[in-house]
Structure 1
Amino acid sequence: MATYIVGDIQGCCDELQQLLNVANFMPEKDELWITGDLVARGPKSLETLRFVKNLGSSAKVILGNHDLHLLAIWQGIHQAKENDKLTPLLSAHDCDELLEWLRHQPLLLRHPEFDFVMVHAGISPQWTIKQAEQFALEVESQLHNNQFKSLLQKMYGNHPNSWSEKLVGDERQRFIINAFTRMRYCFLDGSLEFKNKLGPAETDPSIMKPWFEIDSLDTSSPILFGHWAALLGNVDKEGLYALDTGCVWGNSLTMLRWQDKKTFSLACPVHSQ
């Protein structure tokens, strides 16, 4: 059995299937781990959700910021934007079934054998990995129960941007969601910065650093993540694997086979304007 980990798909279903064929992925014996952001901006979000859901237990999925935003749109909290190309999904006969499945996915997964941890954006340097697992479960318990709409309504916003065990309620849940699904940079004290989407070479390291370069980061387990297309998969830190290489922006879709660390990559056409 092989374990494959693929970066942000964002509705690029054709490219995903092509890449799986290149890697000779066999769902009856292999596993596909997906770093979140299955949907939005690519042309086939509906087909992506159907395909991944139909993989059953062969697919291991976590939620990204676009996935959570889709759930908020589904619940009438926000309106869909035209460039997210979500109309076919939202009007599909199986929309409710697909999005009920989606909202029951986690924010963090740890591989039971290889001990790597997969998240969408990252793990706050103010947490240990063990804490991150606990905090993910806190939010997941809210997202998976019947009051999930309240969580989706209150998750938007950039504050608080620094962790404290004293955080409670909406502020605590918002920080946890932001760290797992939106984080790229941190200020040097480990607090989150949300505006900068540039690559590290274009950013002043005396002001902020990529979250994975903050000294307090717990690297006791390998961490696999997506979300940050500007990295193009380049992370010069042992045990860190960046897998979003900007397929929807016309770069490539990237997948890692864990057992031998072989990388599979497929050049992609531009889907998002």
Structure 2
Amino acid sequence: MACYLVGDIQGCLDELKQLLDDVGFDPAQDELWLTGDLVARGPKSLETLRYVRDLGPAATVVLGNHDLHLLTVSSGLAREHDKDRLQPLLAAPDRDELLRWLRFQPLLAEHSEYPLVMTHAGIPPAWDLTTARQCARQIEAELQSVDYFHLLKGMYGNQPDQWDDNLSGIERLRYSINALTRMRFCYPDGRLEFHHKLMPSGNHPELVPWFELPAAYLEDKELIFGHWAALEGHCGRSDYHALDTGCVWGNTLTMLRWEDKQRFSTACPTYAQ
């Protein structure tokens, strides 16, 4: 048995299958953990959802920002991004079944045997793991409720950008969604910043990658995340594993085998500009 963890798929199903073939993945005995953004700008978002859904308990998924946006678009509450390729999925006969399955995926996952925790974008420095769990569970409860439109309609926006234990209602949910699915840079005081997406550099000295700020205790867990393709799989920490290597942008899809920390990758065509 092996546990494989893979970065953002974004509809690049052929590349995922190639990696799984390369490592000899067997869903009867192996595990596949996916960092979110299953859909969006690659050519096979529909097929990707079907494939991962059909893996059943062999697959563990956390929701990314593109997955949440798909749910909002499908509910008529937002417009599709110009570069997304979601129409085949939105027109599929099994779309409602697939979208319901997606809506019931978590935003934070922890392994029952290994000391690993996974979210799409990371865990903000202001949170300890207990807070991260609580906030993820609150989002999941809203998303899985009959009134989930309320969450989808209110989740967009960059404020509040700083954590406060007294946050409540949609503001607490919006901060939590942004932290778990959109976060890259922070200001030194921990406020989230959402405009810059490139590599950390000296061009914006007032900004700090979220994983470089002093963080609350994560209970000796190692953190798996995706979302930030410009990192090219490197964040400079041995206990944090960045796995989004920009497959959809013509770079590579990267998979980590937990047991020996070996990485595997496959080259990808450029699907998005």
Quote the sequence identity (%): 56
AA aligned to 1:226 is: G
Q: 1:201, CA displacement in angstroms?
A: 2.5
Distance 1:226 1:165 in 2: 26
Q: 1:134, CA displacement in angstroms?
A: 1.1
AA aligned to 1:102 is: L
- Residues 40-189 of structure 1: matches in 2 within 5 Å? 40-189=40-189
Task: Look up the match of 2:215.
Answer: 216
AA aligned to 1:214 is: L
Contact residue 122 and residue 225 of structure 2 kept, 8 A:
yes
AA aligned to 2:10 is: Q
Distance 1:129 1:95 in 2: 34
Secondary structure of 2:60's aligned partner: strand
Q: 1:198, CA displacement in angstroms?
A: 1.3
Distance 2:124 2:267 in 1: 31
Distance 2:159 2:166 in 1: 14
Q: 1:216, CA displacement in angstroms?
A: 2.8
Deviates more, 1:212-221 or 1:118-127: 212-221
Secondary structure of 1:244's aligned partner: coil
Secondary structure of 1:83's aligned partner: coil
Q: 1:117, CA displacement in angstroms?
A: 0.5
Task: Look up the match of 2:253.
Answer: 253
User: TM-score normalised to the size of structure 2?
Assistant: 0.98
Distance 2:217 2:228 in 1: 20
Contact residue 225 and residue 242 of structure 1 kept, 8 A:
yes
Q: 1:166, CA displacement in angstroms?
A: 1.0
Q: 1:95, CA displacement in angstroms?
A: 0.4
AA aligned to 2:263 is: T
AA aligned to 1:210 is: P
Q: 1:31, CA displacement in angstroms?
A: 0.5
Contact residue 125 and residue 218 of structure 1 kept, 8 A:
no
Q: 1:217, CA displacement in angstroms?
A: 4.4
Contact residue 5 and residue 33 of structure 1 kept, 8 A:
yes
Q: 1:129, CA displacement in angstroms?
A: 1.2
Task: Look up the match of 1:199.
Answer: 199
Contact residue 72 and residue 153 of structure 1 kept, 8 A:
yes
Task: Look up the match of 2:268.
Answer: 268
Question: After TM superposition, where is structure 1 displaced by more than 6 Å over at least 4 residues in a row?
Answer: none
Q: 1:266, CA displacement in angstroms?
A: 0.4
Q: Deviations over 1:194-230 (max 9, x none)?
A: 111110135434x111100001343431100000000
Task: Look up the match of 2:237.
Answer: 237
Distance 2:204 2:190 in 1: 15
Distance 2:70 2:111 in 1: 26
**Alignment length (residue pairs):** 272
Distance 1:52 1:202 in 2: 39
AA aligned to 1:209 is: V
Deviates more, 1:216-225 or 1:140-149: 216-225
